[in-house]
Amino acid sequence: MENLSFKDTAIVSCGTLRMELKQMQDEGFLDTEHIYFTTPGLHEDIHELERQLVERIHKAKEAVNQVIVVYGGKFCYVNADEPLRKMDTIIEEQGPGVVRINATHCMDMIASESERETIAQEMAGGEKVWWMTPGWVRFRKLVFKGWDKGLANENFPRHTGGAIVLDGIGYLDQYMAENPEDFLEYCDWMGIPMQAYPATLDRFKSLLREQLEKLENK
């Protein structure tokens, strides 16, 4: 699409991706003034996730007629009480002009499944990896709210390839330099090493552009 502009479109996103979206805004790619965030880590509390998401969409629709939701479809909202209720069910209930980015979770917005397989091969010898984005580091207390060391021990160590942060904003290097003790404590809590993979935001931008084109062509 020529003369790409998000000026008349709002973004409603999980707060975990705040830094990536802010960078795209600073670069001028996201030239909208309407970006709304839910609290990071609400995949652990889907009822609050749904409440905040619907509230932010309603707020966005008061400003503009087009809304792109930046949430994964498969892993961000898993409703054990109503298994047939999906993230896309919530989106459809918000009426016309509301679409969702085509990705399974935030990591998938930065690198596709095939790209992640290649990265895992390159950086972890094909071993199982715990994938993260910078928001999982910055907003650790929210993303892992309620997790104790026991729960951490149940989940992280089986990822023998360690944790890989898909970093499209250069966050982890800065974090390690400025907060080395926090970084080492985080790795110790997880029980696995953490390393950054220097990604780009190109895939994220293309996924946003794809939904903008869909809205514009309706």
Dump pLDDT digits (tens) for 29-40: 999 999 999 999
pLDDT at 133: 98
The b-or-e profile of 52-69 (16+ CB within 10 A means b, else e) is: bbeebbeebbeebebbbb
pLDDT at 1: 45
Same structural domain for residues 123 and 173? Answer: yes
Same structural domain for residues 34 and 124? Answer: no
Residue 1 lies in a domain: no
Mean pLDDT of 191-195: 97
The total number of structural domains in the chain stands at 2
Residue 68 lies in a domain: yes
The pTM for the full model equals 0.94
Residue 4 lies in a domain: no
Same structural domain for residues 178 and 126? Answer: yes
* Among 13, 19, 41, 46, CA closest to 143: 41
Higher pLDDT, 73 or 162: 162
Residue 50 lies in a domain: yes
Same structural domain for residues 138 and 125? Answer: yes
CATH code for position 89: 3.40.50
Residue 2 lies in a domain: no
Same structural domain for residues 69 and 127? Answer: no
Same structural domain for residues 132 and 62? Answer: no
Same structural domain for residues 41 and 116? Answer: no
pLDDT at 140: 96
Residue 3 lies in a domain: no
Same structural domain for residues 44 and 13? Answer: yes
CA distances from 108 to 37, 112, 132 (A): 19, 5, 10
pLDDT at 81: 85
Same structural domain for residues 86 and 171? Answer: no
Same structural domain for residues 138 and 92? Answer: no
Same structural domain for residues 135 and 166? Answer: yes
Mean pLDDT of 63-91: 91
Q: Could you report the per-residue pLDDT of 143-159, keeping only the tens digit for each?
A: 999 999 999 999 999 99
Residue 125 lies in a domain: yes
Q: Which domain holds residue 118?
A: 112-198
**Burial label, 114 (beta-carbon count in 10 A; 0-12, 13-18, 19+):** exposed
Same structural domain for residues 62 and 148? Answer: no
CA distance 44 to 77: 9
